[in-house]
Structure formats: structure tokens, C-alpha cells
């Protein structure tokens, strides 16, 4: 490990950044240095600009990835190297607003029925039933299940925050059935090594396999299950503030995006076109 990388990791550790953030920033800076085959401290604003344009035009990476690389380089130059001028004119990209993919109840039923592996079935049902992120559901421990209060404790979710989420009666039955057979001791969903959680890659593959077996044409990920959870709550009449707390969103505006994909409002609202008195022959002629 180079002295610069050690220093950057120490700077991030002192600021209590999440381990995933530290790992990601180190990878992004490493990619930047490899591209120019030069230590970052010898590079400047023109190199940063050229590299970001390379990511956009040649590698065609997402704007989210662009912003993550920019954030990593900004930390390196502004905090660790104390060279603020390097990032002075490197702007944050405006990300396009896209609507999340949401599964219908029928599609969810087909999806879950396609899963034959006991552990995979339990973890993916938990992700939907509690609206959890992939990192949150894989890190669940047996002790996080509170059947007396009917809640699941999410420890150190996104933003390094703990929160409680709902534990439905049906999910509790699923988890009890799973526990009787798997008998996990610490992590609720352990990986190949009992003292380690199941890998994110394993869960993502289980998700893709279930999607293919169920014949769903949509791109289904664990986050799709979380989106579906939020949208179905909204369509059932749950208020946005409650959904915000359950999802662990910092801002209500983040939760409000689900109002654009919920169908309850559009289905219950009559189109003004339906109130027009048009003769049948006019419709036929057109």
C-alpha cells in the first residue's frame, strides 16, 4: 500500500465514513491513477477532466458512477492532498430523473414461487416484506428479529443509521420455517462461512435466476423489491412520512418519487376525455 493511499484511508476513517464508501473511494482513485499510469499527486485538473470525459464518452458509465468518481477525487485532492484548486471547476453532474421498476402483486407471486432454495426464498421475501436494501438484508442477524414487538432492527443502514421496520406475520412464519431447518446462529443469512453474511453477489444471482424462471420481462433486482414495497404501501393508502421512516430516507422528497409510479391515484381519477359526449361514428371515422 502506497503512503498516499494509507493517508487517504486514515483521513476517511477519522471522518467516520462507511467502510463501503472507503473501499469505493480507494477503488475510484486507483482507477484514475492506473489510467494515466502516474501517481495522483503528480496529476492536475486537466487530467481529472480528461478522465471523467473518458468515463462518460468511452466507457459510457452512468452519471451516478461519474459523481462517485468525482467525489472520490474531490476527497483526495481537497482533504488528503490539500489541493482544492484541482477540483475547483469540476462540477457535479445532474442525474436524469428516472422512474423505478415496480412489480405487480401477480408478478411478485410468480417471482417468489420461482425460488426453490430455502435461504434464497427467505432472504428475498424479507427484502420485499420489510423494504430493505441489499446491504441491509444481508447484514441481518438473528438477534435483530423482535417477534414480541413485530419489528426488525436494521443496524447501521445507509447513512450509518439504525432503524426499525415492520415484521409481518407472514414473514415471521417464513423466517421461523427457515430457522428450523437452517438454524443460523449469528447472521440470519450466513454465507459459506457461518461467521460471515451471505455475499451480495449470491443474492443478486438468486434474484436474476428467479426473474428468468418466472419469465418476467422486467429488470428485477433486490432494489426492485424495495421499490415495489414502497409503491404498494402508497397504493394501499400509507402516508409518505410513514413510508419515509420505514425506508430510512433522509429526505421526504426521495420518498415522494413513488407518487409518480403508484397507480392508485391514476386509476381512481377519471380522465376528462371520458366526460366528452362524442358520437360513436366520429370515433369510428377517426
Mean pLDDT calculated for residue range 212-221? 93
For residue 240, what pLDDT is reported?
A: 85
Residue 207: in which H helix or E strand, if any?
helix 200-214
pLDDT surpasses 80 at 270: no
Name the residues annotated as catalytic: 133, 158, 223, 226, 249, 258
Report helix, strand or coil for 213: helix
> What are 120's three cell numbers?
434464497
Q: Do domains 3-87 and 105-266 have the same CATH topology?
A: no
**What local confidence, expressed as pLDDT, does residue 279 receive?**
73
Task: Write down the pLDDT at residue 159.
Answer: 66
pLDDT at 278: 73
Please state the domain extents for the chain.
Answer: 3-87, 105-266
- What integer best gives the mean pLDDT of the chain? 89
- What is d(CA 146, CA 156) in angstroms, rounded to the nearest whole number? 17
% the chain with pLDDT above 90: 66
Residue 107 is predicted with a pLDDT of 95
170-195 pLDDT, tens per residue?
Answer: 999 999 999 999 999 999 999 989 89
Q: What is the DSSP letter of 161?
A: E
Q: What is the pLDDT of residue 42?
A: 94
Name the CATH topology of 105-266: hpI Integrase; Chain A (1.10.443)
- Size of the chain, expressed as the number of residues it contains: 286
Record: fold of 3-87: DNA polymerase; domain 1 (1.10.150)
- How far apart are the C-alpha atoms of 77 and 246, rounded to whole Å? 37
Q: What is the mean pLDDT of residues 110-126?
A: 95
Residue 253 scores a pLDDT above 70: yes
Judge whether 223 and 177 are in contact, CB under 8 Å.
Answer: no
- 286 falls in which pLDDT band (50, 70, 90)? very low
Tell me how many degrees the CA angle 22-25-31 measures, rounded to the nearest 5: 140
Q: In the structure, what pLDDT confidence band is assigned to residue 284 with cuts at 50, 70 and 90?
A: very low
**Predicted model pTM:** 0.74
Q: Is residue 266 very low, low, confident or very high in pLDDT (cuts 50, 70, 90)?
A: low
Mean pLDDT of 233-246: 87
Cell of 137: 438484508
What is the spatial distance between Cα 67 and Cα 242, in angstroms, rounded to a whole number?
Answer: 30
Amino acid at each position: 500500500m502506497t503512503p498516499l493511499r494509507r493517508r487517504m484511508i486514515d483521513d476517511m476513517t477519522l471522518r467516520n465514513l462507511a467502510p463501503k464508501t472507503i473501499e469505493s473511494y480507494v477503488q475510484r482513485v486507483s482507477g484514475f491513477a492506473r489510467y494515466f499510469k502516474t501517481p495522483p499527486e503528480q496529476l492536475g485538473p486537466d487530467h481529472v477532466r480528461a478522465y471523467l470525459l473518458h468515463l462518460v464518452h468511452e466507457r459510457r458509465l452512468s452519471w451516478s458512477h461519474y459523481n462517485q468518481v468525482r467525489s472520490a477525487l474531490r476527497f483526495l485532492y481537497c482533504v488528503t492532498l490539500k489541493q482544492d484548486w484541482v477540483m475547483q471547476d469540476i462540477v457535479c453532474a445532474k442525474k436524469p430523473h428516472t422512474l423505478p421498476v415496480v412489480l405487480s402483486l401477480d408478478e411478485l407471486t410468480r417471482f417468489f414461487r420461482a425460488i426453490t432454495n430455502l435461504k434464497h426464498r427467505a432472504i428475498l421475501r424479507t427484502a420485499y416484506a420489510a423494504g430493505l436494501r441489499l446491504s441491509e438484508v444481508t447484514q441481518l442477524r438473528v438477534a435483530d428479529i423482535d417477534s414480541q414487538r413485530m419489528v426488525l432492527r436494521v443496524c447501521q443502514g445507509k447513512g450509518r443509521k439504525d432503524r426499525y421496520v415492520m415484521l409481518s406475520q407472514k414473514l415471521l412464519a417464513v423466517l421461523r420455517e427457515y430457522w428450523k431447518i437452517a438454524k443460523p446462529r449469528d447472521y440470519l443469512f450466513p454465507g459459506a462461512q457461518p461467521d460471515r453474511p451471505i455475499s451480495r453477489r449470491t443474492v443478486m444471482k438468486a434474484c436474476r435466476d428467479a426473474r428468468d424462471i418466472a419469465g418476467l420481462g422486467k429488470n428485477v433486482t433486490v432494489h426492485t423489491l424495495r421499490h415495489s414495497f414502497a409503491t404498494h404501501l402508497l397504493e394501499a393508502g400509507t402516508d409518505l412520512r410513514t413510508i419515509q421512516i420505514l425506508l430510512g430516507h433522509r429526505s421526504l422528497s426521495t420518498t415522494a418519487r413513488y407518487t409518480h409510479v403508484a397507480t392508485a391515484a391514476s386509476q381512481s381519477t377519471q380522465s376528462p376525455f371520458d366526460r366528452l359526449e362524442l358520437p360513436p361514428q366520429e370515433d369510428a371515422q377517426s
